[in-house]
Amino acid sequence: MVKKIFSLSGLLVALALFIAVNAFAKVALRRSHIDLTERNLYSLSQGTRNILGALEEPQNLRFYYTPEQAPDGSPIPAYAQRVRELLEEYVSESNGKLRMVVIDPKPFTEEEDQAAQAGLRGIPVNEVGDKLYFGLEATNSVDARETIPFFDPSREESLEYDITQILYRLGNPDRPVVGVMSSLPLTGGTPDPRTGRQSQPWTVYSLLSQALEVRNVETTAETIDPEIDVLMLVHPKELSDQTLYAIDQFALAGGRILAFVDPYCFFDPSAQGDPRMGGMGGDHSSHLDRLLEAWGVRLDASKLAGDKDKSQQIDSPGGPIYCPVVLALDQDCMDPNDVAIRELSSLNLLLAGSFDSIEGSGVTVEPLLQTSADGAGTVDATLLQFGQPDFVRLTESFVPDGQRRAVAVRLTGDVKTAFPDGPPPASEPKPEGADASTEAKPEHLAASKVPFHAVLVADADILADPLWTSDRGFFRQITAGNGSLAVNVLENLCGSSDLISLRSREGFQRPFTKKAELEQAAGERLKAKQKEIEAALRETESKLAKLQGPQDSPGGALLSPEQEAELERANQTYLEQRRELRDVRSQLNTDIKSLGTRLKLFNTILIPLILLVVALVSARNHVRTRRAQ
């Protein structure tokens, strides 16, 4: 009896200790964790740690979340826990520079008013007017404010970038400066001699001016203002060696580059050519080859990048055609891991080129935009030398080869100067006897002082209004993401090197890859079978048309026995092929269900059974050891 009492007491003590240890761990070890995920998805990146370490003044974080308003069954509660734990890790890594409070803005409270004042977005959850708040407000000592209005679970892969970006902005309040050097009339053209009215600035230039401090840089400039953070080159043409050298040294000193270069710029007003010869002789190509090669890439001006699967419909003398060099690139063609473009849905390009990497350059070249895998090909750019582009001829000359081509790339790494022999001679030598020693010459940089960052786009027409806007009375309607591409990339490049390195992290959801492979394989079979059916039907229709001949009677001609037999065979073929399609779909579902059943059995029976066997073997060994003692 005594042994039973002691045994019961021991169990109660063990249970109490277990509960106490768990309660203590939940509070004391809340921020301690071991990240065993494949790519450390639940740990801060080194770029974020660097930015936190560089904070010079304290910042306050107010995390607003109303848990009772989260809809049942939604991913919000789990995601809110993930966000809160990540913010707590920011605080622990900030060396005391970040302070965080968690606020529950219940309906009709002062906390809800504070959330609304901070600019957070409340999501209505019922007819009474209750709202779900789930956002972040960050402030510094001078009351500057940055917010994330709502943490969208669909942006989980960009969560760390979004948080780090607002902290970086608070710590660096000065507005980024962008220099624009363009051979195109982005700011508006010269006044029309007939009306005296000046053409309006391009829409993209207006967008840039709203988001950033924009300074125009002349195409004849021989120095780049060191206050400029990013230099945006738009269709650079006929730049002098002195100007190219200035760009080269700016990049080597740590300046970032966004360049829109083009093998044939359709909207270049300075390249109209000889009107007496139909516009022949105009130079529509950009001139930046010397710098591009120093940066590790080449733009092949002899080829245009085309894609029959991403072509747009245009008008032609013979009727509408789908032209493969008039592109509409969707998300299938965009890098899903790059924060500057991952939210864009479509981009329109015209007569674009493509980039090739130079082996051994030491520069990392990451494609941002690419043609599709199946429809890609090229068109000979020499066809554009004969005046205005003949889009019908370009379409007929398109040669698909299935090779994806990089239309836009991101460059990072260490580069060397394009002027290894030093600066070129001055464009205007000083008069004889002038004292040249009075001017301080900047140091010639032979290699990059800090890692080089640039984004290159092989199309300058992408910025022209007709490609991504349309007039709707008093306002312009945005029809594609071309302008957002320029603004997003510039804002990304204006950040620090650490911020640029924070790409979208790999998805936190582990996809059912085998199922996706089965669906893709079956989809390809379905697509091939569908094409086979369509080809068979077209062939049958053609045969019927030849057999029927002209039909003069209002009601049409009666079918002959041969026609009826042909039609019957066509219908029979159609039914058989439809049956095959159903079989393929049925087999797909069978494969997926079978795989799912095997995985369920593996997870629910086999794994627990293995653990049970291991536990039994361990217990038996433990008993044997005690008996042996």
Picking from 42-51, 114-123, 250-259, 504-513, which range would have the lowest pLDDT averaged per residue? 504-513
- Range scoring the smallest mean pLDDT among 145-159, 473-487, 525-539: 525-539
Q: Give CA–CA dist 171/146, Å, rounded.
A: 11
Does residue 316 register a pLDDT over 90?
A: no
- The pair of structure tokens assigned to 551 is 């039909």
Token pair, residue 356, equals 């090739």
Residue 7 pLDDT: 57
pLDDT digits (tens, 9 = 90+) for 44-66: 888 899 999 989 899 999 999 99
Amino acid at 407: V
pLDDT at 414: 93
In the chain, what is the straight-line distance between the N-terminal and C-terminal CA atoms, in Å? 27
| pLDDT at residue 551 is higher than 70 | no
DSSP helix/strand/coil, 148: strand
Q: Helix, strand, or coil here: 363? A: strand
Burial of 475 (0-12, 13-18, 19+ CB in 10 A): exposed
CA gyration radius, the chain: 33
Strands ordered across the beta sheet of 145-148 = 98-103, 59-65, 134-140, 145-148
CA–CA dist 169, 586 (Å, integer): 54
pLDDT level of residue 176 (50, 70, 90 thresholds): confident
In contact, 369 and 485? CB cutoff 8 Å: no
Q: What is the pLDDT of residue 32?
A: 54
The pLDDT of residue 126: 83
pLDDT single digits (tens) 92-110: 999 999 999 999 999 989 9
Name which residue leads in pLDDT, 629 or 230.
230
Instruction: Write the Ramachandran bin of 539: left for phi over 0, alpha for psi from -120 to 50, otherwise beta.
Output: alpha
Please list the residues that pair with 463 across neighbouring strands. Answer: none
- pTM given for the model: 0.65
Cα-Cα-Cα-Cα torsion 430, 433, 436, 437, nearest 10 degrees, comes to 180
The Cα 444–Cα 420 span in angstroms is: 10
Mean pLDDT score, 437-460: 86
Q: Is the dihedral of CA 280, 283, 285, 289 positive or negative?
A: positive
- How far is it, in rounded angstroms, from Cα 148 to Cα 138? 9
- Answer whether 420's CB lies under 8 Å from 367's CB: no
Average pLDDT, the chain: 81
Residue 510: pLDDT over 60: no
Residue 287 has pLDDT above 50, yes or no: yes
pLDDT of 181 strictly over 70: yes
Strand, helix or coil for residue 583 = helix
Mean pLDDT of 269-284: 61
List CB contacts of 7: < 8 A, sequence separation 6 or more. Answer: none
pLDDT digits (tens, 9 = 90+) for 198-226: 578 999 998 898 778 999 999 999 999 99
The residue among 157 and 480 whose pLDDT is bigger is: 480
Quote the percentage of the chain above a pLDDT of 90: 45
